[in-house]
A and B are shown apart, each in its own frame.
Chain A
Amino acid sequence: MSTAVSADSSGKPQTINLEDLPLAQLQKIKTQLEEELNSLTGAFSQMKQAQSAFRECKNCIDEMTPESKDKTIMIPLTNSLYVPGKLSDIEKVVVDIGTGYYVEKSAKDAASYYDSKIEYVQDNAKKIQQTVEQKQASYRGLLEIMQYKLTQQQRQQQQAEANKQPGTTAKAR
Chain B
Amino acid sequence: MHDIPYLKERAKETRLNILEIAFKAQGPSHPGPALSCADIVTALYYRIMNIDPKNPAWADRDRLILSKGHACPVIYAALAQRGYFPMEWLKDVRRVGGNLQGHPDMNKTPGVDMTAGSLGNGLSAGLGMAYYLKDQAKNSQVFVILGDGELQEGNVWEAAITAPALKLDNLIAIVDYNHFQSTGATDDIVPIEPIVDKWRAFNWNVIEINGHSMEEVVSALERGVAFRGRPTVVVAHTVKGKGVSFMEHNNDWHQKIPTEAEYAQARKEITEGI
- B is a partner of A: no
* Residues of A that sit less than 8 Å from B by CB: none
* Residues of B that sit less than 8 Å from A by CB: none
